[in-house]
C-alpha cells in the first residue's frame, strides 16, 4: 500500500504510486541511497504499453505522463526497471518518453479526417508501427491485439 515502508539492511524503501502503465502500479523508492525500482513505468529503450482500463480509470496516458513528471522532480540516481538495463539518465529518458507520446498523439490526429467518427480498429491500420511486417494485414494476430488494447 502506498506509503508503506520495507526495511532491509541499511535500506528503507517507501512504496510509492507510479500509476499509468496500470492503474495500481507501485514502485519502491529509497531516498537515502537514491534508488527507484519502477517496474514498467520507465523503460530504457522501449515505451511501456499504456492501456485503456475502463472509463472509470480516466485518461491513463495523462495519468502516466503526470507520474513521469512527478518522478522527474525526485532525487534519484539509480533507476531499475523490470525490463533491460539500469536507466542511467532517467530525466532524459522521461523527456524522450513524453516526446514519443506527444508525437504519437499527433500522428493519430493527422490520420483522422474531420467529420468522421473512428474506432481504434479504424485508426490502427492508418498509423505507423515499428514491427517487421509489410503492413497491418501482415501483423500477427497477437500483435494486432496489443496494438489496439
Q: Report the CATH number that the domain containing residue 43 is assigned in CATH.
A: 3.60.15.10
Q: Are residues 69 and 119 in the same domain?
A: no
Domain count, the chain: 2
**Tens of pLDDT along 7-18?**
999 999 999 999
What is the span of the domain harbouring residue 92?
A: 5-111
pTM of the model: 0.87
Q: Are residues 49 and 34 in the same domain?
A: yes
Q: Are residues 78 and 10 in the same domain?
A: yes
Domain boundary (96, 111, 126) is at 111
**Tens of pLDDT along 111-147?**
999 889 999 899 999 999 888 888 888 988 988 888 8
Give percent above pLDDT 70 in the chain: 100
Assign 19 a pLDDT band (cuts: 50, 70, 90): very high
Q: Are residues 88 and 24 in the same domain?
A: yes
Q: Are residues 69 and 122 in the same domain?
A: no
Q: Are residues 92 and 122 in the same domain?
A: no
Q: Are residues 99 and 128 in the same domain?
A: no
Express the helix, strand and coil content of the chain in percent, nearest 5 each. Answer: 40, 15, 45
Q: Are residues 24 and 81 in the same domain?
A: yes
CA 5 – CA 53 distance, rounded (Å):
28
Mean pLDDT score, 76-99: 94
∠ CA 47-53-55 to the nearest 5 degrees? 125
Q: Which residues pair with 12 in a beta bridge?
A: 7
Q: Are residues 125 and 140 in the same domain?
A: yes
Q: Is the pLDDT of residue 107 over 90?
A: yes
∠ CA 126-132-138 to the nearest 5 degrees? 60
Q: Are residues 58 and 126 in the same domain?
A: no
Amino acid at each position: 500500500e502506498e506509503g508503506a515502508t520495507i526495511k532491509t539492511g541499511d535500506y528503507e524503501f517507501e512504496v510509492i504510486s507510479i500509476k499509468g502503465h496500470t492503474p495500481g502500479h507501485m514502485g519502491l523508492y529509497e531516498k537515502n541511497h537514491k534508488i527507484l525500482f519502477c517496474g514498467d513505468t520507465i523503460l530504457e529503450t522501449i515505451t511501456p504499453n499504456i492501456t485503456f482500463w475502463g472509463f472509470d480509470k480516466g485518461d491513463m496516458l495523462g495519468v502516466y505522463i503526470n507520474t513521469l513528471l512527478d518522478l522527474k522532480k525526485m532525487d534519484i540516481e539509480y533507476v531499475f526497471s523490470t525490463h533491460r538495463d539500469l536507466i542511467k539518465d532517467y530525466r532524459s529518458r522521461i523527456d524522450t518518453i513524453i516526446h514519443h507520446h506527444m508525437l504519437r498523439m499527433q500522428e493519430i490526429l493527422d490520420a483522422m479526417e474531420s467529420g468522421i467518427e473512428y474506432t481504434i480498429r479504424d485508426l490502427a491500420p492508418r498509423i505507423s508501427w515499428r514491427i517487421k511486417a509489410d503492413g497491418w494485414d501482415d501483423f500477427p494476430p497477437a500483435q494486432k491485439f496489443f496494438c489496439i488494447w
